[in-house]
Chains A and B, each alone.
Chain A
Amino acid sequence: MFLLRAGCLAVCVGVGLGPAVAGAADAVAGRIEGTVRSAETDRPLPGANIVFLETVLGTAASSRGFYFLEGVRAGSYRVEFSHVGYAAETLAVDIRVGETCVADVSLAETTIPLSEVVVSAGKIGQRLAEAPGSVSVLERETLEERAAISIEEVLPMVSGVDLRFGQVSIRGSTGFNRGAGSRVLLLIDGIPAITGDTGGINWDALPLWEVERVEVVKGASSALYGSNALGGVINIITRAPSHRPGGRIAFHGGWYSRPRYPEWRWTSGRQYISGIDGVYSARARRVGVVMGVAERHSQGYRQNNEDRRWRATARVESELSPRLRADLYAWAAREAYGYFQEWRGQDYALQVRPDSRGDRVVSDKVNLAGELSWTPDARTVVVLRPAWYRTEWDDYFHDGDHFSNASRFWWEARVHRAAGERHTLVSGLELETSRLESSLFGDRRARGLSAYVQDEVGLTGRFRVALGARWDGSYVRDGRDETQLSPKLAAVWRPSRWMSLRMSLARGFRAPSLAERFTRATVGGIGIVPNPDLGAESVWSSEVGCLVALGRRATLQAAVFENRYRDLVQIERDPAAAAFRFANTHRARVRGLDLEMGARLADRLSGRLAYCYQDPVNRDTGEPLMYRPNHSLAAALDVEIGSLRLGGDFRYQSRIDTVAAYPQDERVPLYLVNLRSSLAVGSVTLTFRVENLLQYHFAPIERNLAPIRSYLAGLSVRL
């Protein structure tokens, strides 16, 4: 069902008037605006995508479903309106000089997500079904359904994504390497959020209430994103400022259950969890702002594991002119937590080893970023993006105190060009400098320079090819300089509107972090020495996959993949120095299958299923790779009863075959059940969650038990 309301101040022409001639008009421009709503409920559809086909123009609907785009050159266009859970519709419009075209659109509900728009696979908005690789999307609704308080809670619902005490892995890329260098690139609004010293990810710095959606690109993505995108990319896209002033304030509080076994009880009282979040959004004329603050406190389910976090974020959007837009992003975070190195023994699994009791860490992060976007014509966008990321941490450990202060400056210049009706070109230059002062890593400097280009060619209406490459050069003072070339080839075929088939072959790499190159320390009596000659690790990543609509109520995304790694970085004995160091140690191969299915089982019942099988092998020894389970399954079911929503998640992971330390320790598979409920009454939403309902005990890494059962209640008020 597609409804076009004829309230046009200018001229809006119905579907089927033929292709537009974008950019044919002269330099003068008009404006388009309107509202995107659900055809069934008439509710606005926040976040709906509005894309001018065969151009680089586009926008998204506000929280009230309103959208507008100014400075559109006069002419005829085809505009596609889409939203997850709704069938996309295309409308032909005429934009006239100095006039506003009003196009109100109603979209019909469907579970076919093939027209959902994603931005991370090609650094440009494109339909999910045409993305040159596997992309999974977690929408804001998914985050809100779960009443999640951190991104880490929801990421394992994506097939192939695993999180082990903060370290993320896509399709077995990372396993667990104790925070030294992430093999997954984390982006916030497309801007890298990788620390300058350890090359890791600080999850506590991420906004949650301000998140619009999370896109997960699986497989090597260095052809566009460079280092760290070895296993894939996670892009967290924040909300745009709303057109009407408003905000939200939310409180949550809860407690950890008593440990199941008396031997594990280490405190007589309850251990509590609490937090407060506030977000405010407004727009005045051409300037919009979103601001958020958050505070979290957990007394911890384990001894010496208390955790306090504070965070403030701001995003400012301004339309400097119809063709020029400037965005500013800023966030700052602080975390102070007790460090639980390892348990005292399995019979005292919630107590820390006595010698490390009192170990704690304080860390601060500041990120400032900007984006200047210039649209000289309907087919071209030029984007300039500088970003500065500062991280500081101090360890206060029983065997010595350490600090690290790192700054990372990143700069990107990018051009999007819709060349003719078939080509979409993305090209860019990146510059990066890192500066580090640390008691563990020394005083270090590093620089990087990169250039990339990718062309997506629509060979026919149903067959597209993406071809691209990126060159990266890295220069490390007192270290090894390297250059990398990362090509990519992908093809997407849509035999019908119900199905999309794709294949891709790409190379990825990760330059070692400054911490991996230069650590000199003795930790727990184990000496670690620098290895300035440490080189990059790389992968050839291939996959064949499909995205299929199963009737009108279910979709299936599936892929078989094989990733072949070389020179994987791992800590090893240095015979010359009689100590340990990071080294390029081995080759590996991870092949497998991942499936993701979403279904609306009935009007009020929806479900999601994610399964991944992987076979991770060290090609030099034939042994399984560490910390990679063979099977992972995540299932979710949600039901709506009026304004009450009930849901549950189940997660399973097979037992890990190999670990780095304590191979003799007992290891078990993971079975995790979470329940949740929410009740919306006017502008107030009440939530209640039970995590780890079955009180199942599992150690994701050696001698560290995952959280025991907890209860969490929340109250959210929309202002």
Chain B
Amino acid sequence: MEKSWSRTVAAFLAVLTLVGCRIDHGLDPYGFEGIEGAVSFAGEWPEDLEEVRVAVYPDYPPADFFALAGYSDPVPLKAAAFSYRVRLLPGVYAWVVVVGRRRDQDWIQGNVLLGQFTSTPGDAAAAAVTVREDRTTCHVDMTVDFADLPDPPPLPKALGAGGCSRRE
């Protein structure tokens, strides 16, 4: 009997050691699939902006504001530039935007379209980005000019439909 349980314990420890050696450690900080880039801001920041982020939509125009695939950490208000990363599943994303939220309003009522990714700076049309498996799509850079904000898409109550308080 003594041998029986000591063998069982030994087997358990052996399995544990084996599992410990072979198992990965789950999530880690290295794997990243998505897009990254920089946003630069020109002009004076409006006072009524409370939150600004980069948001990624699979479709253009999106079905609604929350039909997004991912979004970035908040941009520090009144920053001159911001580097962002957005984790995404592999696929094609039709619209990458910089979007703000007005003070004391929610994202649906108070969203403001500030900028969007275009194939060349100054283009009016949005450009799609592709994310491949286990890859980071880099240099998805955007510029926000508070004096010349892009037109919102033709969709009531969708992103940017709330208009914008521009500073002249």
What's the minimum C-beta distance from A9 to chain B, rounded to whole angstroms?
42
Query: Which B-chain residue is minimally distant from A527 (CB atoms)?
Result: B106
Alpha-carbon separation in the docked complex, A348 to B27 (Å): 11
* Whole-angstrom CA separation of A699 from B87 in the bound complex: 16
The contact of B23 among A344, A525, A573, A696, by CB within 8 Å, is A696
Check B25 against A694 for contact (C-beta < 8 Å).
yes
With contacts A345-B73, A695-B25, A696-B26 known, is A664 near B34, CB below 8 A? yes
Assess A354 versus B74: contact at CB under 8 Å? Given A602-B8, A666-B27, A695-B25.
yes
Give the Cβ gap from A464 to chain B, nearest Cβ, in Å: 38
Asked if B32 contacts A605 (CB within 8 A), the reply is no
Instruction: Render B101-145 as a binary contact track against A, CB cut-off 8 A, 1 for contact.
Output: 100111111100000000000000000000000000000000000
Cβ–Cβ contact A346 & B25, under 8 A = no
**Which residues, 279 to 315 on A, are CB-close (under 8 Å) to B?**
none
Q: In whole angstroms, how far apart are the Cα atoms of A501 and B9 in the complex?
A: 34
Q: Is A4 an interface residue (CB 8 A)?
A: no
Given contacts A602-B8, A603-B5, A671-B19, A663 and B26 within 8 Å (CB-CB): no
| Cα-based distance from A668 to B108 in the complex (angstroms) | 32
CA distance A673 to B157 in the complex (A): 50
Cross-chain contact B32 with A347 (CB below 8 angstroms): yes
Q: For residues 1 through 40 of chain B, which have their beta carbon under 8 Å from a beta carbon of chain A?
A: 1, 4-5, 8-9, 12, 16, 19-20, 23, 25-34
B64 CB-CB contact with A under 8 Å: yes
The reply on B81 being an interface residue by CB < 8 A is no
Q: Which residue of A lies closest to B20 (CB)?
A: A694
- The answer on a CB contact under 8 Å between B157 and A578 is yes
Q: Which of B5, B30, B34, B73 contacts A604 (CB 8 A)?
A: B5
**Given A354, A522, A671, which contacts B106 in the complex, CB threshold below 8 Å?**
A522
Count chain B CB atoms within 10 A of each CB in A344, A663, A664 and give the residue with the most.
A664
- The yes or no answer to B46 lying at the interface (CB within 8 A) is no
Q: Are B27 and A579 touching (Cβ within 8 A)? A: no
Answer whether residue B60 sits at the interface, using C-beta atoms and an 8 A cutoff.
no
Interface size class of A (residues with CB under 8 A): 35 or more
Please give me the residue from chain A that is nearest to B85 by CB atom.
A345
**Do A664 and B8 touch across chains, with their CB atoms under 8 A apart?**
no
Q: Which of B74-105 contact A (CB under 8 A)?
A: 74, 85, 87-89, 101, 104-105
A164 → chain B, closest Cβ, in Å?
16
Question: Which residues of chain A (588-615) have a CB below 8 Å from chain B?
Answer: 601-605
Q: Are A673 and B20 in contact (CB under 8 A)?
A: yes
A569 to chain B, nearest CB (A): 19
Whether the pair A705, B27 counts as a contact (CB closer than 8 A) is yes
A345 to chain B, nearest CB (A): 7
- A178 CB to closest chain B CB (Å) equals 17
Assuming the A-B contacts A522-B106, A602-B5, are A673 and B29 also in contact, with contact meaning beta carbons closer than 8 angstroms in the complex? no
- Are A663 and B89 in contact, with the CB atoms below 8 A? yes
Q: Which of A681-711 contact B (CB under 8 A)?
A: 693-699, 705
Complex CA distance for A697 and B9, rounded to whole angstroms: 26
Given contacts A601-B5, A694-B25, contact A664 B106 (CB under 8 A): no
Cβ proximity bits A577-588 to B, threshold 8 Å, 1 near / 0 not: 011000000000
Q: How many residues of B contact A (CB 8 A)?
A: 41
Interface residues of A in 328-387 (CB under 8 A from B): 344-349, 353-355
Docked complex Cα distance between A260 and B88 (Å): 25
For residue B150, CB closer than 8 A to chain A, the reply is no
Residues of A within 8 Å of B88, CB to CB, are 664
Chain A positions 431 through 461: 1 when the CB is less than 8 Å from some CB of chain B, otherwise 0:
0000000000000000000000000000000
The answer for the CA separation of A641 and B157 in the assembled complex, in Å, is: 70
Known A-B contacts A261-B29, A346-B32, A605-B9; A527 and B73 likewise in contact (beta carbons under 8 Å): no
Report A439 CB to chain B, min CB distance, Å. Answer: 15
Query: What residues on A are CB-neighbors of B51 within 8 Å?
Result: 525
A345-B85, A668-B26, A673-B20 known; A578+B8 contact, CB < 8 A? no
> A639: CB under 8 A from chain B?
yes
Docked CA distance A666–B70 (Å): 13
Instruction: Determine whether the beta carbon of B16 is less than 8 Å from that of A348.
Output: no
| Bound complex: CA A605 to CA B2 (Å) | 10
A23 interface residue, CB < 8 Å from B?
Answer: no
Contact of A602 among B1, B34, B87, B109 (CB under 8 A): B1
Docked-complex contact A671 and B64, CB < 8 angstroms: no
Given contacts A602-B5, A603-B5, contact A349 B108 (CB under 8 A): no
Contact of A347 with B87 at beta-carbon distance under 8 Å, contacts A601-B5, A662-B70 already known: no
13 contacts between A and B (CB under 8 A): A264-B29, A347-B29, A522-B104, A525-B50, A602-B4, A604-B5, A664-B33, A664-B87, A664-B89, A671-B26, A673-B16, A673-B20, A694-B23
Chain B residues engaging chain A, CB cutoff 8 angstroms: 1, 4-5, 8-9, 12, 16, 19-20, 23, 25-34, 50-51, 64, 66, 69-70, 73-74, 85, 87-89, 101, 104-110, 157
Further 16 A-B residue pairs, CB within 8 A, beyond A354-B73, A527-B108: A261-B29, A261-B30, A348-B29, A349-B29, A578-B108, A601-B4, A602-B4, A605-B9, A664-B33, A664-B69, A666-B27, A666-B87, A668-B27, A671-B23, A695-B25, A697-B25
